[in-house]
Structure 1
Amino acid sequence: MSRYDRAITVFSPDGQLLQVHYAQEAVRRGSAVVGIRGSNAIVLAVEKRVVPELQSDRTEKKIVLLDDHIVLAFAGVRADARVLISRAQIECQSYRLSVEDPVTTEYVARYLAGIMQQYTQSNGRRPFGVSCLIGGFDADGPHLFQTEPSGTYYEWMACSTGRCEKTTRDYLEKNFKPQLVTSEHGAILLAVASLLEVQYGGRGLEVAILKRSSPITKLSPEAIQSYITEVQKEKEDREKKT
């Protein structure tokens, strides 16, 4: 099987593109990322790696604004993500200049997925080793999309990617309730709780909230710690009842 991974355009006998699978493995080795589509807010929570003492932490951005109403978080190879983010930001501005309307969230997701798919069928290239969660507000309300290295994209109410993706997604499937995310507080609480399933103690978490007609807000470490404390207290209360 190893000889079938030498070129991205060669299928293995069982119909797989092995380089795409390797790119997906690079995503799974990246930081955990969770996105929640609330009624009035998009919440993105990420696990940031520890920054060396002499390094400026402003260069460690896992959550990036693409346009005034669209935000992106990623898991995987940072260099690949930087290229995709730059191209998406340019496309958002180009669309606004050409159409004189803000770009839709699905358009951005489809645009990025198209770029990623092109890199799975041309010689001399490799797939992007990154998965993106893209949240934004359109005329019909909030939307949350995910793109994968294969070039596919999906829309979600709640989603996770990166390290321990299955664990966090299982938690979201068990605990997501539409009435819970009608409030901003409930959506943030669910995002933090899902990351705590795979992130001990909540160190290095970053949480961003995007609301309609409002600039993106990033929670302070103190505010994140208050949510962590609340999650841990609720967990202890449940354990006492059982």
Structure 2
Amino acid sequence: MAASRAPSAWELSRQRRASRPPPSVIAQPDTGPQHSTTQDSELYLPDLLLYPVNFSPLATTLATGLVAEGIPHSNLFAVFSPDGHVFQVEYAMEAVKRGTCAVGVKGKDVVVLGCEKRSALKLQDTRITPSKIAMVDNHAVLAFAGLNADARILIDKARLEAQSHRLTVEDPVTIEYITKYIAGVQQRYTQSGGVRPFGISTLVVGFDPNDKTPRLYQTEPSGIYSAWKANAIGRSSKTVREFLERNHQEDMDREQTIQLTIKSLLEVVQTGAKNIEVAIMSPGKSIEMLPDDQIESYVKSIETEKQEEAAKKKTGRGGTTTAAILTRPGGGEGSESRE
């Protein structure tokens, strides 16, 4: 005797339709979109195609790929609004702007990543607190701003691709290659059904194999990637980027690059060294995380420099004011003694 076969979805759908009366064909007044009480988990694709009016507009849209009437475009995935926006991508970019700040700066033979980190809670175990800086391969590192959970998934995908490339080609990935891969993953999640875009931007840095030229790239939730000399992502990134534009110089050495990175972060970080982490990449070397005591010394040096500059400006303004008082129009210096 042949083994019994489980009924297919189409057969189950036919059995369900046979056990219920056919849909009414009497015209009904248009009262707006009607939502069915049937649970979406009980729906079959043939039911949606044959009797779409009996089910929710969202279920019809997800099953058929057609935008059902009554669903806001902001609630759909990978659908353009009438004015050409993909709102889910724009919402993902807003999530990036709400994330902590991350900065990348290239020097002559070094590239530095600096990130703002949130303060740990009193009972939190700081040993397993996720960092904003992650190593993709021995020569490639990225920092991110946005949702930590999204970053964890994207970093795992990038690491897997880097190891697969190493096993297949027997050569490490270039920084541009892994950046393209990360941007490609982000882009695919903007045009696929049933998923949402990654709510993160990344700064990818490192050195290509047998090359001493520092690399710095940025990726965005939309899938765009670009190369930079210095850049910032996350909250107040515009302010930090303007600071970098004013102070960045070509061919900076290691100390100057580290100092500029920390100084730019201090534009938005008000709590000092305890909320800053710094990673340094050099040719032929793995990632170097700057110890907290060294970050503290850099912060103290920068604050002392700022105080000295403020004192000089104050002294200069004071001398100018005194000279203006002693020198008056028509009388010259010492005119007050002749009054």
- TM-score, normalization by structure 2: 0.68
| Residue 31 of structure 1: how far off its partner (Å) | 0.8
Give distance in 1, aligned partners of 2:309 and 2:221: 39
| Residue 123 of structure 1: how far off its partner (Å) | 1.6
Matches for 1:186-197 after TM superposition, within 5 Å? 186-197=256-267
Secondary structure at 2:231's aligned position in 1?
Answer: strand
Deviation readout 1:6-64 (Å, 9 max, x if unpaired) = 11222223321111111011111111100111121110000111122232223321111
Greater share of strand: 1
Bigger-Rg structure (1/2): 2
Q: Indicate conservation of the 8 Å contact 2:102/2:113, yes or no.
A: yes
| Residue 201 of structure 1: how far off its partner (Å) | 3.2
* Partner residue, 2:155: 85
- Residue 235 (structure 2) pairs with residue 163 (structure 1): yes
- TM-score, normalization by structure 1: 0.95
Task: Specify every segment of 5 or more residues in structure 2 that has no aligned partner in the other structure, as ranges.
Answer: 1-70, 314-339
Opposite residue 248 of structure 2, the aligned amino acid is F
Give distance in 1, aligned partners of 2:102 and 2:144: 7
Q: Indicate conservation of the 8 Å contact 2:231/2:244, yes or no.
A: yes
Secondary structure at 2:180's aligned position in 1?
Answer: helix
Opposite residue 195 of structure 1, the aligned amino acid is L
- Residue 278 (structure 2) pairs with residue 215 (structure 1): no
Opposite residue 83 of structure 1, the aligned amino acid is I
Matches for 1:52-201 after TM superposition, within 5 Å? 52-57=121-126, 58-138=128-208, 139-140=210-211, 141-179=213-251, 181=252, 183-201=253-271
| Residue 233 of structure 1: how far off its partner (Å) | 1.9
Q: What RMSD in Å do the two structures reach over aligned CA positions?
A: 1.3
Q: Indicate conservation of the 8 Å contact 2:78/2:88, yes or no.
A: no
| Residue 81 of structure 1: how far off its partner (Å) | 0.3
Secondary structure at 1:123's aligned position in 2?
Answer: coil
User: Which runs of at least 4 in structure 1 moved beyond 4 Å after TM superposition?
Assistant: none
- Fraction of identical pairs, as percent: 48
* Partner residue, 1:42: 111
* Partner residue, 1:5: 74
Opposite residue 224 of structure 1, the aligned amino acid is I
Give distance in 1, aligned partners of 2:216 and 2:163: 20
Deviation readout 1:102-146 (Å, 9 max, x if unpaired) = 100000110000000001111211100001110010144110011
Secondary structure at 2:83's aligned position in 1?
Answer: coil
Opposite residue 170 of structure 1, the aligned amino acid is E
